[in-house]
Amino acid sequence: MKLKTIVVGTDFSSAAAQALAQAELIAGQHEAELILVHASGLDDRGVALLEMAGRVDEPWKAYLDGRLTHSREQLGQLVEEVSARGRRVQPRFVEGHADRAVVDVAQEVGADLIVVGTRGHTGMQRWLLGSVAERVARQAAAHVLVTRQPPTPFAHVLVGTDFSPASALALDAARALVAGDGRIDLLHGYHEPLSVRDEAPAWLDASLREGASSAAESLLRDRSDDRVHLEVMSGAPAPTLRRRLDEGAYDAVFLGSHGKRGLRRMLLGSVTEHTLRGAPCSVFVAHGQ
């Protein structure tokens, strides 16, 4: 996997600065171009509400114009700084909300990767509203990297797999981004069928493990890489993945997105979404057909 264009969302916060720094590391590794996207946060609906309230008078207009001008200046200064560090970079200032702005620009330029930071909000407000990072990861067609720590070359990463095409994309992404002779831990968590109410017999566990090992061999057949180390564990995928993340010092976790939508996904979530919300490290969400 070769990255040519990387879109980075920025609101000029410390979390966005971390995301940009990580994107610069990846851009240097792949000689990719960076597109810095900043959204004004003001859309047509917001302007219409102000007009309905009779508040688009000269003081309000001057205030809004001043904020937009300042944001444009900040974006321009940031581009100059990145360019001075030897990166190819372009600015994109978009009127509207951040999640749609980043996703739309990424689609427009054919981005291979989107990088965004997260402020790590938790609790009921976050469950109801989500975050910009979550919404970008959910809506984007391109791969998405959500950063959670200071920038670092990816030397030790975890890849969660269910042996689907989506998780194969996640493994391919990890192989492309892990530096040099780094380590890639490929983890599959399996559990007994729901129809098994009591403790599963030994033969069933052995059969499930054998099936997982066979699927892993098929996945790795065309992906020969000494950096990949497979582990098959008994347990539901999401908690198994989280337990391993808590046990090891990983630079990032890579997961595939199956792209489910609608009420079922909102109520049940997915392994990827649960990990995105709770992982102690950066999360790479691989998107694809």
Same domain, 201 and 231: yes
Q: Are 234 and 187 in contact (CB under 8 A)?
A: no
What is the average per-residue pLDDT within 95-124?
Answer: 85
Query: 3-class DSSP state for residue 78?
Result: helix
Write down the H helix ranges in 110-262.
Answer: 124-129, 132-139, 165-177, 202-220, 237-247
* Residue 48 neighbours by CB distance under 10 Å: 11
**Greater pLDDT, 164 or 110:** 110
Q: Tell me what pLDDT residue 229 has.
A: 92
Same domain, 128 and 159: no
Q: pLDDT band for 207, please (50, 70, 90 cuts).
A: confident
Q: Which of 97, 131, 151 is the last residue of a domain?
A: 151
What is the average per-residue pLDDT within 13-26?
Answer: 95
Q: CA-CA-CA-CA torsion for 201, 207, 210, 216, nearest 10 degrees?
A: -110
What is the average per-residue pLDDT within 105-125?
Answer: 80
Residue % of the chain over a pLDDT of 70:
82
Q: How many domains does the chain have?
A: 2
What is the average per-residue pLDDT within 97-107?
Answer: 93
Query: What is the DSSP code (8-state) at residue 259?
Result: -
Same domain, 131 and 202: no
Same domain, 205 and 135: no
Q: Which of 151, 168, 187 is the last residue of a domain?
A: 151
Same domain, 10 and 131: yes
- Write the CB contacts of 23 (distance below 8 Å, at least 6 apart in sequence): 6, 8, 34, 113, 115, 145
Q: Is the pLDDT of residue 252 over 90?
A: yes
Same domain, 146 and 12: yes
Q: How is residue 247 written in tokens?
A: 């046990």
**pLDDT tens string 256-289:** 987 555 443 433 347 888 888 889 999 999 997 5
CA distance 68 to 58: 15
Q: Is the pLDDT of residue 236 over 70?
A: yes
Q: Which of 116, 151, 186 is the last residue of a domain?
A: 151
Q: Structural domain of residue 236, as residue ranges?
A: 155-289
Buried residues in 244-283 as b, exposed as e (16+ CB within 10 A): bbeeeebbbbbbbbeeeeeeeeeeeebbbbbbbbebebbb
Give the domain CATH number at 182.
3.40.50.620
Same domain, 241 and 162: yes
What is the average per-residue pLDDT within 252-256?
Answer: 95
Mean predicted lDDT score pLDDT of the chain: 84
Same domain, 171 and 141: no
Same domain, 205 and 115: no
Q: Is the pLDDT of residue 227 over 60?
A: yes
Query: Which residue from 280, 269, 23, 239 is spatially nearest to 134, judged by alpha carbons?
Result: 269
Same domain, 69 and 105: yes
Same domain, 51 and 128: yes
Residue % of the chain over a pLDDT of 90:
48
Give ∠ CA 120-126-129 in degrees, rounded to 5. 130
CA distance 78 to 260: 36
Q: Tell me what pLDDT residue 206 has.
A: 81
Give the C-alpha distances (Å, rounded to integers) separating 134 from 1, 146, 175, 272, 281: 24, 8, 24, 11, 15
Same domain, 77 and 165: no
CA distance 169 to 53: 49
Phi and psi, residue 259, nearest 5° = 70, 30
Q: Tell me what pLDDT residue 54 has.
A: 62
